[in-house]
């Protein structure tokens, strides 16, 4: 059980970093620091979009439209942080057999 929880934490970390990299890349594209006419940039951008869009889609349906400002990555990062804390608490409970104080 602990191994499964640790694997889930690793997967959450990977998703976290994918979202951060995608956000930074979107800023670089928005400010014309890098250009999507470059084949490599376009390939990376499309791959990141395909990975993150399924996470953002349900949140975008609920959040109001803020124009160019997309808050769905921030919401996903908050949900990931909450899930990580829950999994971390479950690992501690498995290891120590109860709540740890202090």
pLDDT at 69: 86
Q: How far apart are CA 72 and CA 10, in angstroms?
A: 22
Q: Of 16-25, 32-41, 89-98, which range is least confident?
A: 89-98
Question: Residue 28: its pLDDT value, please?
Answer: 93
Q: Where are the alpha helices (DSSP H) in 31-99?
A: 39-62, 72-96
pTM of the shown model: 0.85
Residue 17, pLDDT above cutoff 70 = yes
pLDDT in tens, 48-100: 999 999 999 999 999 998 887 889 999 999 999 999 999 999 999 998 886 55
Burial of 28: CB neighbours in 10 Å, binned 0-12, 13-18, 19+? middle
Rounded to whole angstroms, the Cα distance separating 96 from 67 reads: 48
């Amino acid at each position: 059980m602990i191994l499964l929880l640790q694997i889930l934490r690793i997967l959450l970390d990977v998703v976290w970093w994918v979202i951060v990299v995608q956000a930074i890349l979107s800023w670089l594209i928005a400010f014309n620091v890098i250009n999507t006419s470059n084949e490599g940039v376009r390939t990376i951008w499309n791959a990141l979009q395909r990975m993150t869009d399924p996470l953002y889609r349900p949140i975008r349906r609920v959040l109001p439209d803020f124009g160019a400002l997309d808050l769905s990555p921030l919401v996903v990062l908050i949900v990931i942080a909450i899930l990580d804390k829950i999994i971390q608490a479950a690992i501690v409970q498995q290891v120590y057999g109860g709540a740890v104080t202090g």
